[in-house]
Amino acid sequence: MSLSRYQASMVLAGVGDSMGYFHGKWEFNFQTEKIHKELYELTNGEGIKALHLKGKDWLVSDDTVMMMATAIALLSLTKKREKIKKEKFSINQMKKKMKMKIQKEKSNKESNKEPNKESNQKSNKELNKESNKNQIKNQIKNQIKNQIKNQIKNQIKNQIKNQIKNQIKNQIKNQIKNQIKNQIKNQIKNQIKNQIKNQIKNQIKESNKESNQKSNQKSNQKSNQKSNQKSNQHSNQKSNQQNFDYLPINKNLYVNIAREYVRSFGNMRGRSPGLKSKASLKRIATLPGKYWCIIPFDSKAGGCGAAMRATPIGLAFPNLETQIEKLISISIESGRITHHHPSGYLGALAAALFTSYAINDIPIYEWGRKLINEIIPKAKEYLEKSGREVEKNLLTMEYFIRIWKTYLEERNLLEGEIGFEKINWPKKYHEDHKIRDNWIKSVSYSGWGGSSGHDSTLIAWDCLLAAQSDWENLCLRFLCGGDSDSIGVLAGAWYGAVYGFDENVPKLNYEDLEYFDKLMEIGSDLFDLSQKQF
């Protein structure tokens, strides 16, 4: 566990995302061979080592933006804020300045009061005459000066008074106008609200009348509907209650995660954000913060949007003995904020867990077996405690488990003594892109491998198992005919957490990456966070 590996995990996740995305050209290209051909054309045949990911030319996608949002929310646990530098002047400095001014004024007065040496040579009579003349002159001068001063003062006073009066008048006018406008707006709003309420009430009344008329004909259906409604209401009430006793950490963290996800959508231009995340966050954005858990179970919410952003959770909670419950809860609930389906949020759990395994130097080939045998049972227990549509979640999570178990059995990674040298790879799997593309499609929902939570994590892990410490090999593997930016963001995060910025990673790939400095800073802050107990 080291600072550089934390920073590398964040930065290389961004690299994998940027590379796999390539402004959508490679993310939505379903043929590995074509992607690799374009790569070598771009780099004059040199490949990954010559690929310069420079700022806006290689934008990161929504994956990195939302990954940073997860990290920023986690850092709220330490109340870490940017320091605002302000110049401060002490009282002593101010006093010194005032003294300097006073001394200058005194010296100027003294220089103006030097005696006239020539007057001492004159007679007393001449002195008296001259003094009288001077007195008269001075009196006249002073009178004229005073008159002019008074006139100027009066003019200035009158001008200031008029300006103040006009300002006050304008302020009062504007206040009155704004008050009237606000009153009118509020009246209109209230009228519209009342109209809508009345319309809804009338619709409800009419529907109740219709249902009462049909109640005798459909008594059996009605009883079934009532029982379903009660169970749904019960589960929804549980999720929205103020009582969050099942959470192993303060609920404000989950509120902050939802808030940061909503904010991140202000930075999605040109980044191809996921439709499910967009729809869920649009709904959450209109509600108070406590409704982070408002999104219900959704059979179509198994996408990779939850997994791609979850790796910082594993960096923040690396202590697998004391923090595993927190890691499970935060990864699942951060996923359910937008993707309330096991394929979605269990992908987030796998992404966070594997990052924690990487930081703890647990062998890469052990990760999948430990996920299925040790962590999934704990995840089931947590889902039961949470009380949120438990039956639906437990039934549908079997698909995630089945896909992963099948892979582990095929690769000889589920039981017995395992290791890199004992992995059972299909014939020509590493040489023939078509064989690998077919496998990627086989583990996906609809043919687009890596676009879901279960397969994005599985394919990214498969890339790392095959490439190990060979960065170029890893990149060529996640640049595949699947959702390459989401596979890349996960593979890059895990590689960085295991190997750091080792000699195999060309600096051209990351030093000019968009958000490089911010990702480095977040990695450093997450390392500091990991040293504290929560």
Binding positions for Mg(2+): 483, 485-486
Comparing C-alpha atoms, which of 286, 302, 314, 271 is closest to residue 452? 302
Give the dihedral of Cα atoms 350, 354, 360, 366; nearest 10 deg. 100
Cα 225–chain centre separation: 40
How many H helices and E strands in the chain? 19, 0
DSSP letters of 120-164?
GGS-HHHHHHHHHHHHHHHHHHHHHHHHHHHHHHHHHHHHHHHHH
Measured CA to CA in angstroms, residue 465 lies from 19, 306, 483 at distances of 20, 22, 18
Instruction: Produce one character per residue of 77-104: b if its CB has 16 or more CB atoms within 10 Å, e if not.
Output: beeeeeeeeeeeeeeeeeeeeeeeeeee
- List binding-site positions: 483, 485-486
User: Cα separation of 281 and 345, whole Å?
Assistant: 15
User: Cα separation of 151 and 156, whole Å?
Assistant: 9
The H-or-E segment that residue 107 falls in is helix 91-112
CB 476 within 8 A of CB 48: yes
User: Cα separation of 282 and 338, whole Å?
Assistant: 10
Spatial neighbors of 516 by CB under 8 A, at least 6 apart, are 11, 14, 510
Instruction: Produce one character per residue of 196-213: b if its CB has 16 or more CB atoms within 10 Å, e if not.
Output: eeeeeeeeeeeeeeeeee
Instruction: Produce one character per residue of 467-505: b if its CB has 16 or more CB atoms within 10 Å, e if not.
Output: beeebbebbbbbbbbbbbbbbbbbbbbbbbbbbbbeebb
User: Cα separation of 25 and 17, whole Å?
Assistant: 12
